[in-house]
Amino acid sequence: MNRKPHLPLLTALLSLTLGSCATIAQPGNTFPLPRATYDEQWRPQVHFTPQRNWMNDPNGLVYLDGEYHLFFQHNPYGNVWGHMSWGHAVSKDLVHWEELPVAIPEAEDIAIFSGAAVYDRDNTSGLGTAAKPPLVAIFTGWNKSTNNQSQYLASSVDRGRTWTRYGKDPVLNIGSTESRDPKVFWHAESNQWIMVFAKAREHKVAIYGSKDLKTWTFLSDFGPLGSEGDVWEVPDLIQLPVDGNSSKKKWVMVVSVNGGSLYGGSGMQYFPGDFNGTTFTPDPLPAVTEPAGEVFADFEGADYGGWEKTGDAFGTGPAHGSLTGQSPVTGFKGSGLVNTFLNFDQGTGTLTSPEFTLNKPFITFLIGGGNHPGETAFNLIIDGKVVRSATGQDSEALRSKFFDVAEFKGKKARLQIVDSHTGGWGHILIDHIKFTEAVVNDMEFKTLWADFGKDFYAGVTYSNLPTDDKIWIGWLSNWQYAGQLPTYPWRNAQSFPRKLSLKTTPEGVRLFQEPIEALKNQRGARFSVQNLLVSKVNERLMSAAVRGKSLEVLLEVETASLQNVGLKLHQSSKEETVVSYSPLAERISLDRSKAGEGSFNIGFPEVHAAPLKDVGSTLKLHILLDTSSIEVFAEDGKVVFSDLTLSSPSSDGLELFSTGGDAVVKNLEVYELKSIWKK
Ligand code: FRU
């Protein structure tokens, strides 16, 4: 019985102990997996993947002497999480990578978790010499016998080729099993190194200062704020000019949140604000305005009112947060909610509402708990039949969902909460049921999301870059299914490196992202048209046989009087990945529900959507499509989606569409992207 939310760690450990389709070798064994050919099905052609075996977070992103280093969370012995070590690759252009031997291997005492690397130019640490200043890696050591997570050092004076552990570790131990992922930078104004790391379960970022990377002083804590999810991980604190003006800079705290993120699972949020060398002060978050409507049930009373109960999962009345043996429950409104963890995961039963008449188009509610469609479920019942049903996300963080019930207007209905599952995550959480005229996904507005897709996590910036650019790489995956992706002999990719900027928008200062310029060097065959109707563009695309799995697409299209406009990619008669913008709703979406082998696990076949305002008369999209992913940069990177796709090799078509009129395409450029692996 798993009473805890699915932590990456726990999930991974579980798959490690239970075994999976991959062979797990022990250290000392030869590699169990075959050498890579880089043309395996789903192998990204313009994204970094390890030759073989498992990868998660990017670590220690640092530039030195003409080389960009990419370290990464790596299992050198199999393609599931485990034996965490720092894998290593280097690049001269952030595009072509040479994979080097494991840099910092798992040790007897600790596994090597995420962290940062800095160039200690003045040898403040004394771990190099004045003539040979060291690269210093600051990472979390996870003590395998005590579970303690503390911060450790290793250094290198040969361009990151060999690493020596400091030995007098840990340099920072707060006695916690949930303190991890240090990111370190030199803060000139206060003349010290600053470290931020996650107090994961407390939903806080700790800020420490040091003169020598070895002795650390507590400065302040930031959080909780925004989206808490189950855990906070991998923070970064960066400073960027606003609107390109270097005399007007702003700080941004970046926090990865896992479990109950925007679409469940993992995601990344950011907080613009100010950092004074001690404390990070965030700007106020955007206000969430709930759509007006009628609250049907808020579960604030001592009992369930007119709801009828069966079984033993519901008790005498609403719960107030978590129950005995349960991890913290978050995200409910007021003090009460329905929580069927009453008899741990064993309890079962139903809770059925009084009958009501449907007179509004939407039913909104907060839902959490187990992901067992039909078994830990929230149902709408009409004439004895379940006509709508939702389930949790294997998370104790409630999130808002809704039923579109416009078609049932005037019908009599009941709502029913069901718990018939007694295995892991055999419970459901429900709160704040409302009948509304409109829907606001308050998760969208609760915080500023760095990415509206489901596959961008643990993003961190490069240190010691030769220019003032801020460039980051994130893990192109999600803990919800990372361990089950059907790729072999490797698992998981890094995002394409992105340049960050801050721009003033009507809603406030926002983070913008664009793929780095060097992507252009991968451009091969080109197709382009200007000032042509969508229907004509499609004819040209057909006759020129423009298709491919790895493509760069630049589109500028007029939006006037249209319902929807967008593109279908990785397309065939059976499969497609759809990017669609609605000028009326001012929303953009990415639909991967038909993007291939999506049914292997929860949370893959989905539509992801984001508000996209102030587009004006022309929508601008920049798309980076690879064998098994899509990254969409809308309106110069104001809204970004990163999503994995698993379409079959023959789904390589490309088509535009517009509804409500034939849109004018002002500019379309499609480039085949040359593989970064093949000469
Ligand atoms: C984030 C994370 C980190 C941890 C690492 C372990 O994805 O869970 O918090 O350091 O992965 O591999």
One-letter amino acid of 319: A
Enumerate the β-bridge partners of residue 403.
363
- Does the beta carbon of 124 sit less than 6 angstroms from any atom of ligand 1? no
Sheet-wide strand order for 204-210: 179-187, 192-199, 204-210, 217-222
**Domain 293-439 grouped into CATH 3.40.1180.10:** no
Enumerate the β-bridge partners of residue 448.
270
- Does the beta carbon of 57 sit less than 6 angstroms from any atom of ligand 1? yes
Phi–psi pair at 495, nearest 5 degrees: -65, 165
pLDDT-derived band of residue 287, with 50, 70 and 90 as boundaries?
Answer: confident
- Does the beta carbon of 84 sit less than 6 angstroms from any atom of ligand 1? yes
C-alpha of residue 493 to centroid of ligand 1, in Å: 15
- Give the active site residues: 57
One-letter amino acid of 426: G
Q: Which atom of ligand 1 has the smallest separation from the CA of 256? A: 1
Question: pLDDT digit string (tens) for 458-507?
Answer: 999 999 999 999 999 999 999 999 999 999 999 999 999 999 999 999 98
Question: pLDDT digit string (tens) for 520-573?
Answer: 999 999 999 999 999 999 999 999 999 999 999 999 999 998 899 999 999 999
Q: Which atom of ligand 1 has the smallest separation from the CA of 142? A: 10
C-alpha of residue 445 to centroid of ligand 1, in Å: 26
DSSP annotation of 353 = P
What residue segments make up the domains of the chain, in order of their start?
117-286+456-500, 293-439, 519-673
Specify whether the CB–CB gap between 421 and 370 falls below 8 A: yes
277: its two tokens = 């060398």
- Does the beta carbon of 16 sit less than 6 angstroms from any atom of ligand 1? no
pLDDT of residue 85: 98
C-alpha of residue 223 to centroid of ligand 1, in Å: 19
- Does the beta carbon of 59 sit less than 6 angstroms from any atom of ligand 1? no
Specify whether the CB–CB gap between 431 and 365 falls below 8 A: yes
Same fold yes or no, 117-286+456-500 and 293-439: no
Q: Which atom of ligand 1 has the smallest separation from the CA of 233? A: 9
pLDDT of residue 599: 64
Mean pLDDT of the chain, nearest integer: 92
pLDDT of residue 5: 33
Rounded distance between C-alpha atoms, residue 604 and residue 574, angstroms: 17
DSSP readout, 156-184? ESSTTSS-EE-SS--SB--S-SSEEEEEE
Rounded distance between C-alpha atoms, residue 125 and residue 478, angstroms: 36
- Does the beta carbon of 485 sit less than 6 angstroms from any atom of ligand 1? no
Residue 25, pLDDT > 80, answer no
The proportion of the chain whose per-residue pLDDT surpasses 90, expressed as a percent, equals: 84
Name which residue sits closest to atom 7 of ligand 1, judged by CA.
57
Q: Strand, coil or helix: what is 466?
A: coil
Q: In the CATH hierarchy, which fold is given to the domain comprising 519-673?
A: Jelly Rolls (2.60.120)
166: its two tokens = 């400091």
- Does the beta carbon of 394 sit less than 6 angstroms from any atom of ligand 1? no
C-alpha of residue 234 to centroid of ligand 1, in Å: 7
Specify whether the CB–CB gap between 629 and 642 falls below 8 A: yes
174: CB partners within 8 A, 6+ apart? 150, 199, 206
Q: What is the pTM of this model?
A: 0.83
- Does the beta carbon of 56 sit less than 6 angstroms from any atom of ligand 1? yes
The residue assigned the tokens 């609250």 is 295
Q: Which atom of ligand 1 has the smallest separation from the CA of 114? A: 10
pLDDT-derived band of residue 27, with 50, 70 and 90 as boundaries?
Answer: very low
Specify whether the CB–CB gap between 70 and 58 falls below 8 A: yes
Which of the residue ranges 132-136, 173-177, 242-246, 401-405 would you say has the lowest mean pLDDT?
401-405
Give how far Cα 268 sits from Cα of 87, 231, 258, 513, 598, Å. Answer: 23, 12, 9, 13, 22
Enumerate the β-bridge partners of residue 675.
none
Phi–psi pair at 547, nearest 5 degrees: -155, 170
181: CB partners within 8 A, 6+ apart? 57, 113, 114, 115, 140, 197, 198, 233, 234, 235, 458
C-alpha of residue 112 to centroid of ligand 1, in Å: 10
Name which residue sits closest to atom 8 of ligand 1, judged by CA.
8
Bigger pLDDT: 18 vs 418 = 418
Residue 190, pLDDT > 70, answer yes
Residue 256, pLDDT > 50, answer yes
- Does the beta carbon of 651 sit less than 6 angstroms from any atom of ligand 1? no
Bigger pLDDT: 342 vs 150 = 150
584: its two tokens = 């009326």
483: its two tokens = 């361990």
Residue 497 neighbours by CB distance under 10 Å: 24
Residue 14, pLDDT > 90, answer no
**Domain 117-286+456-500 grouped into CATH 2.115.10.20:** yes
C-alpha of residue 397 to centroid of ligand 1, in Å: 19
